[in-house]
A and B are shown apart, each in its own frame.
Chain A
Amino acid sequence: MYLEDTIAAISTPIGEGGIGIIRISGPDSLPIARSIFRKRLDGGLKSHRFYYGHIIDPDSGSLLDEAMAVFMGSPNSFTREDVLELHCHGGYLVVQRVLALTLRHGARLAEPGEFTKRAFLNGRIDLVQAEAIMDVIRSRSEMSLNLAQHQREGLLSLRLAQVKESLLSSLALLEAYIDFPEEDIDHAAKDHIKENAVASLVMLDELLSGFSEGRIIREGVSVVIAGKPNVGKSSLLNALLREKRAIVTAVPGTTRDLIEEQMTIKGLPVKLLDTAGIRESDDQVEREGVKLSLEKLASADLILFVVDGSSPFDDGDRAVLERLTGFSFMVVKNKVDMDTTPVLPFGAEVPVVSVSTRTGQGLMQLQQVIFDFFIHHGDRDSRDFVAISQVRHRDALDGCRQALGTFMANLERAVNPDLLAIDLRDALAALGEVTGETTADDVLDRIFQQFCIGK
């Protein structure tokens, strides 16, 4: 917990077309403005004036967006600290990238409710106002917890966990070497630590390259529609696209090829994939289709599990559900206009959206739920929004990559182990933002598992 560093977050609801505001609060606000905001005339930003200019990444020189900037000098701001607001024009992605840029230039992603907290602690708002937001803060932090539990980032979380695992085992080696000088701890340890670090570095670079140009920008997120045959998967795709492209008939197993469509939901590019109904089949062609569907499931960011809302949840549905375990999915209950509502075997942890592809009922809500799934921005009425998990991840990866780079360089220079350990701990701490903190006991547990230690 830092109380006096500089924090940043997107402070407007994110949507297509509108203006996105990034708010930055703390002592580095002005220096950040100086490094990333270019305006026509020279000279600094005067307090409480709007300036027109461009947001430029100083490292690459590339232009991110045209924007308005306003600086509010302490104490005349919402938090009573120096505050900088960047009003961007571009859609959701541009705002994300600008936020990421501020994070690279000294800001830290704000915790839920942190602007308000600062406002309160600095006497800007009163207790009643502050208490009113307490519940909001809690519900948000619970949401981010759910985020982790829902494996929202499925594969990414897994990879981060691998990186953490490898760093932790390096740290355990190093710490065992430090703390138990009288034990005959394997002197191959150093090579092992290096191998681990190199492997982690490769993994991080891979992950980062996926981020840096923005996988989302290039490809969008991939949403796969799955379900047993004839529950209305293609109808759902069409309804979402508002045009008929997939073949829709009442004969089960019609959609044999995979159908892929691009759409945007509130500025978020979405790649929508319709799959063949998943079931056992004798038909060679259909079997091929099913196989392909299963492969697509594995690479999806999100799966929409479509069930027929007018008939009971049956073995066919159950067979599909089995295939979905381990993936991020939500349930779309179709045909709710036919007003029979079967009981579904899901707990509160799986989101269920009821729609009718025939009447269009629930489709808006479905889009919202999909959007919220990727873009986690908490409560709309509050003044500070939690940025999306994507940025958090990227930030974590960046920090980890940097610390690990320092670690490798120092390892080569044969720097003392006590300092090497600090670099490794920094790398782990950076990851901690998304994978959870590494405690002293985690390290000790690892040491006692790996080494026979004891006098």
Chain B
Amino acid sequence: MIFYDKHYDVLVVGGGHAGCEAALAAARMGRETLLLTINLDAIALMSCNPAIGGLAKGHLVKEIDALGGEMAKNIDATGIQFRILNTKKGPAVRASRAQADKQQYRLRMKRVLEGEEHLHLKQGEVTALVLNDDTVTGVDTRAGVRYMAKTVILTTGTFMRGLIHIGLVHYSGGRAGDLPSVGLSDNLRELGFAVGRLKTGTPARLDSRTIDFNKLEPQYGDDEPLPFSFSTERIVTRQVPCHIAYTNERSHEIIRSGLDRSPLYSGIIEGVGPRYCPSIEDKVVRFPEKDRHQTFIEPEGLDTVEVYPSGLSTSLPIDVQWQFYRSIVGLERVEIMRPAYAIEYDYVDPIQLHASLETKRLMNLYHAGQINGTSGYEEAAAQGLVAGINAALRVQGKEPLILGRNDAYIGVMIDDLVTLGSKEPYRMFTSRAEYRLLLREDNADLRLRERGHAVGLVRENEYGKFVRKREMIGEELQRLRREKLLPSQADAAFLEEFNLNGVQNALTYEQLLRRPDITATDLSRIDGKIMETPAAVREQVEIQIKYQGYIDRQLEQVERSKKLENARIPRDMQYAGLPGLSTEVQEKLQAFRPDTLGQASRIPGVTPAAITILSIALKSRSGQ
């Protein structure tokens, strides 16, 4: 083994979406950081669909931005179609989504990494960890080089023992066109980690010159594209449409005829796939009554003819793929440029992690991204950011950053992962958040800017901007509470329109705005000043006033759960022999080793009575 003489603070393995955020966070916090990845040309490459955001995922991106991560800025600079989803379903579930120019996205991220002072990029495949007792101290690469570091973050994505399936043909690969990572997962297994196998898939990439777009319905982005990042002023890239197409009965017949050569249905694939991302053969088999399935034909970029047909992933043989895609109206002559495929890969069950994303087994080792059994760029990036921050904090000798379920979707996700583990690929949904009304896209900065600033990731100018916004919100709320509409002096048409004719007493603007039928724009007819505040401030004020009842209720629930969430369980807690705990619960707790009582209470099978007993045991421990 050849020793490299430089000693790093933080070493990130993998240059995917998790790895990029992790490395940037650590470097920006002033830590000497090394990013090692198999292929430096594939940094931040989008393995699957060329899009960022969507429900719950958009929320994650805004949170990453509020904490000082890069993903939002990167998509703002390279997005080619922006849309806000769910505009009519309530502020909590409104979400941003954008199509990305895949190559530009990757190149810009690489530029940002290269521009970072403390960040070093090197190509290399990590095959093993270097340990000192139970502490990780470095990594070995395939080329025989040993790099030493105080902390290591693994973000290996779909690469560990990656196996690509196209029909009954399969071969090793980390993703189409990329080498797999071989040896590292065996090493992790030898070190005692529980390693499992998952599966995912992607559709073919099609040649848009062979698609008849006249037969498809275009879907344009919003007229005014709104950025993800709280720091981006406006979107300047050229915007292009997607197109909607549908499968038909004949398509389904073709799929069914190919099932005997499906690696999925012939049992060759052993990994568990995501239920929310079924392949087209899954859809056809499971929902035979559906006579068509929708697909969005998404552009892969401005400088390429390649397009991505969403929802049509498959692992059927290539001849079936040819027939299948060509059975779709508008795609009769379509040429496949890259075939669809499924991929199986090793992941490490995240139940073996603390909420800081550090492994419980080895000190100073962190796992982030798809290695934790998640799927999706945003999920990966969010974990990468947290792992990067926490590795840097460890080096600085500080306490880790842990976000609660009431702070952020990031908190919900990590808590789910480390308390429940992942048996199928984990994706974020808004329904996973019990405090959904508090965790909105619009207030991600109010929730997290302070935290990002405290760890040193949010720059002073950005922070200053945020502080000003927060002040303006406070002032505007006060003004609306103070200023009143006097029915006697008011505009009669306004009173008429909003059924206020019978009203005797003066109503504050806050009271008016609380009514479901009166928006800020309506109010501006009698309140000239409301339009003077910036749109983002107005939006905040309006949401906070309109939803106050529900928001207060959720805040109350948060307050009640605080005691449990804040009750930390010492790492060396012995559960065996605790009086009053059943053996089953003892074993569960011993295996999971929860960090807090709140976490313990969410472990399936741990009863409220067991929590009572635990809290008594904890209290008596601390009293001694």
Interface set of A (CB-CB < 8 Å, partner B): 1-5, 111-114, 117, 120-121, 127, 130-131, 134-135, 137-138, 140-142, 145, 175, 177-184, 413, 415-419, 421-422, 425, 440-441, 443-444, 447-448, 452-455
Q: Is B528 an interface residue (CB 8 A)?
A: no
Q: Contact at B429–A121, with CB atoms within 8 Å? A: no
Q: Contact at A117–B612, with CB atoms within 8 Å? A: yes
The 3 A-B residue pairs with the shortest CB-CB distance in the complex, in nearest-first order: A134-B580, A416-B90, A418-B90
Q: Contact at B608–A111, with CB atoms within 8 Å? A: yes
Q: Which residue of A lies closest to B607 (CB)?
A: A141
With A179-B429, A182-B85 in contact, is A142–B55 under 8 Å at CB?
no
Q: Contact at A455–B311, with CB atoms within 8 Å? A: yes
| Separation of A28 and B246 alpha carbons in the complex (Å) | 60
Q: Contact at B86–A178, with CB atoms within 8 Å? A: yes
Q: Which residue of B lies closest to A144 (CB)?
A: B609
Q: Contact at B616–A418, with CB atoms within 8 Å? A: no
Q: Is B615 an interface residue (CB 8 A)?
A: yes
Interface centre among A112, A127, A175, A178 (most CB of B within 10 A): A178
| Separation of A197 and B406 alpha carbons in the complex (Å) | 29
Q: Which of B576-624 contact A (CB under 8 A)?
A: 579-582, 601, 607-613, 615-616, 619-620, 623
Q: Contact at A454–B608, with CB atoms within 8 Å? A: no
| Separation of A4 and B283 alpha carbons in the complex (Å) | 49
Residues of chain A with a CB closer than 8 A to B607's CB: 141, 145
Residues of chain B with a CB closer than 8 A to A453's CB: 276, 278
Q: Contact at B547–A419, with CB atoms within 8 Å? A: yes
Residues of chain A with a CB closer than 8 A to B296's CB: 182, 455
CB distance from A81 to the nearest CB of B (A): 14
| Separation of A154 and B191 alpha carbons in the complex (Å) | 50
Q: Contact at B436–A421, with CB atoms within 8 Å? A: yes
| Separation of A181 and B286 alpha carbons in the complex (Å) | 21
With A422-B437, A453-B276 in contact, is A179–B56 under 8 Å at CB?
yes
Q: A-side binding surface: helix, strand, loop or mixed? A: helix
Query: Which of B332-340, B447-455, B559-567 lies at the binding interface?
Result: B559-567
Q: Contact at B516–A178, with CB atoms within 8 Å? A: no
Q: Contact at A113–B612, with CB atoms within 8 Å? A: yes
Q: Which residue of B lies closest to A171 (CB)?
A: B431
| Separation of A181 and B49 alpha carbons in the complex (Å) | 17
With A1-B608, A419-B437, A454-B311 known, 19 other A-B pairs at CB within 8 A are A3-B560, A117-B612, A137-B612, A138-B582, A138-B610, A141-B608, A141-B609, A177-B89, A179-B429, A182-B54, A418-B437, A421-B431, A422-B436, A441-B420, A443-B431, A448-B275, A452-B283, A454-B276, A454-B278
CB distance from A277 to the nearest CB of B (A): 42
Interface string of B33-52 (1 = CB under 8 A from A): 00000000000000001000
Residues of chain A with a CB closer than 8 A to B430's CB: 175, 178-179
With A422-B550, A455-B277 in contact, is A111–B560 under 8 Å at CB?
no
CB distance from B491 to the nearest CB of A (A): 26
A-B contact pairs, 18 of them (CB 8 A): A1-B611, A4-B560, A112-B612, A127-B623, A137-B613, A145-B607, A178-B55, A178-B89, A179-B55, A180-B55, A181-B89, A416-B90, A417-B90, A418-B437, A440-B432, A454-B276, A454-B278, A454-B282
Q: Give which listed residue, B294, B416, B610, B615, contacts A121 with CB less than 8 A.
A: B615
Q: Contact at B601–A1, with CB atoms within 8 Å? A: yes
Residues of chain B with a CB closer than 8 A to A1's CB: 561, 564, 601, 608, 611
Q: Contact at B55–A181, with CB atoms within 8 Å? A: yes
Q: Which residue of B lies closest to A111 (CB)?
A: B608
Q: Contact at A444–B609, with CB atoms within 8 Å? A: no
Contacts across chains A and B counted by CB atoms under 8 Å: 147
CB distance from A260 to the nearest CB of B (A): 40
Q: Contact at A117–B89, with CB atoms within 8 Å? A: no
| Separation of A142 and B88 alpha carbons in the complex (Å) | 47
Q: Is B287 an interface residue (CB 8 A)?
A: yes
With A111-B612, A178-B431, A454-B311 in contact, is A418–B620 under 8 Å at CB?
no
Q: Which of B80-101 contact A (CB under 8 A)?
A: 85-86, 88-93
Q: Is B290 an interface residue (CB 8 A)?
A: yes
With A130-B616, A138-B582, A179-B429 in contact, is A452–B290 under 8 Å at CB?
yes
Q: Contact at A2–B560, with CB atoms within 8 Å? A: yes
Residues of chain B with a CB closer than 8 A to A114's CB: 612
| Separation of A377 and B54 alpha carbons in the complex (Å) | 51
Q: Give which listed residue, A113, A121, A183, contacts B619 with CB less than 8 A.
A: A121
Q: Contact at B608–A444, with CB atoms within 8 Å? A: no
| Separation of A182 and B295 alpha carbons in the complex (Å) | 10
Q: Which residue of A lies closest to B219 (CB)?
A: A182
Q: Contact at A181–B582, with CB atoms within 8 Å? A: no
Q: Is B293 an interface residue (CB 8 A)?
A: yes
| Separation of A180 and B428 alpha carbons in the complex (Å) | 12
With A5-B560, A178-B55 in contact, is A113–B609 under 8 Å at CB?
yes
Q: Contact at B616–A121, with CB atoms within 8 Å? A: yes
Residues of chain B with a CB closer than 8 A to A178's CB: 55, 86, 89, 93, 430-431
| Separation of A127 and B620 alpha carbons in the complex (Å) | 7
Q: Is B321 an interface residue (CB 8 A)?
A: no
Interface set of B (CB-CB < 8 Å, partner A): 49, 54-56, 85-86, 88-93, 274-278, 282-283, 286-287, 290, 293-294, 296, 310-311, 416, 420, 429-432, 434, 436-437, 516, 547, 550, 553-554, 560-561, 563-564, 579-582, 601, 607-613, 615-616, 619-620, 623
| Separation of A44 and B436 alpha carbons in the complex (Å) | 42
| Separation of A316 and B247 alpha carbons in the complex (Å) | 62
Q: Contact at A183–B294, with CB atoms within 8 Å? A: yes
Residues of chain A with a CB closer than 8 A to B579's CB: 131, 134-135
With A417-B89, A421-B436 in contact, is A3–B613 under 8 Å at CB?
no
Residues of chain A with a CB closer than 8 A to B49's CB: 455
Q: Contact at B431–A440, with CB atoms within 8 Å? A: yes
Residues of chain A with a CB closer than 8 A to B311's CB: 454-455
| Separation of A130 and B550 alpha carbons in the complex (Å) | 38
Q: Give which listed residue, A130, A418, A447, contacts B91 with CB less than 8 A.
A: A418
Q: Which residue of B lies closest to A415 (CB)?
A: B516
| Separation of A419 and B609 alpha carbons in the complex (Å) | 32
Residues of chain B with a CB closer than 8 A to A140's CB: 609
CB distance from A6 to the nearest CB of B (A): 12
Residues of chain A with a CB closer than 8 A to B86's CB: 178, 181
Q: Which residue of A lies closest to B87 (CB)?
A: A181
Q: Contact at A3–B431, with CB atoms within 8 Å? A: no
Q: Contact at B616–A120, with CB atoms within 8 Å? A: yes
Q: Contact at A417–B93, with CB atoms within 8 Å? A: yes
Q: Contact at B93–A137, with CB atoms within 8 Å? A: no
Q: Contact at B91–A134, with CB atoms within 8 Å? A: no
With A1-B564, A2-B560, A182-B296 in contact, is A120–B85 under 8 Å at CB?
no
Q: Which residue of A lies closest to B86 (CB)?
A: A181
Residues of chain A with a CB closer than 8 A to B582's CB: 138, 142
| Separation of A209 and B616 alpha carbons in the complex (Å) | 40
With A419-B90, A452-B278, A454-B283 in contact, is A138–B613 under 8 Å at CB?
yes
| Separation of A447 and B278 alpha carbons in the complex (Å) | 13
| Separation of A137 and B579 alpha carbons in the complex (Å) | 10
Residues of chain B with a CB closer than 8 A to A113's CB: 609, 612
Residues of chain A with a CB closer than 8 A to B277's CB: 454-455
| Separation of A395 and B125 alpha carbons in the complex (Å) | 60
Residues of chain B with a CB closer than 8 A to A416's CB: 88-91
Residues of chain A with a CB closer than 8 A to B564's CB: 1, 3
Q: Give which listed residue, A2, A121, A179, contacts B431 with CB less than 8 A.
A: A179
| Separation of A413 and B277 alpha carbons in the complex (Å) | 35
Residues of chain B with a CB closer than 8 A to A447's CB: 431
Q: Which residue of A lies closest to B292 (CB)?
A: A184
| Separation of A85 and B311 alpha carbons in the complex (Å) | 62
| Separation of A130 and B563 alpha carbons in the complex (Å) | 20
CB distance from A180 to the nearest CB of B (A): 7
| Separation of A121 and B431 alpha carbons in the complex (Å) | 34
Residues of chain B with a CB closer than 8 A to A135's CB: 579-580
Interface centre among B290, B579, B623 (most CB of A within 10 A): B579
| Separation of A2 and B54 alpha carbons in the complex (Å) | 34
Q: Which residue of A lies closest to B553 (CB)?
A: A422
| Separation of A454 and B91 alpha carbons in the complex (Å) | 24
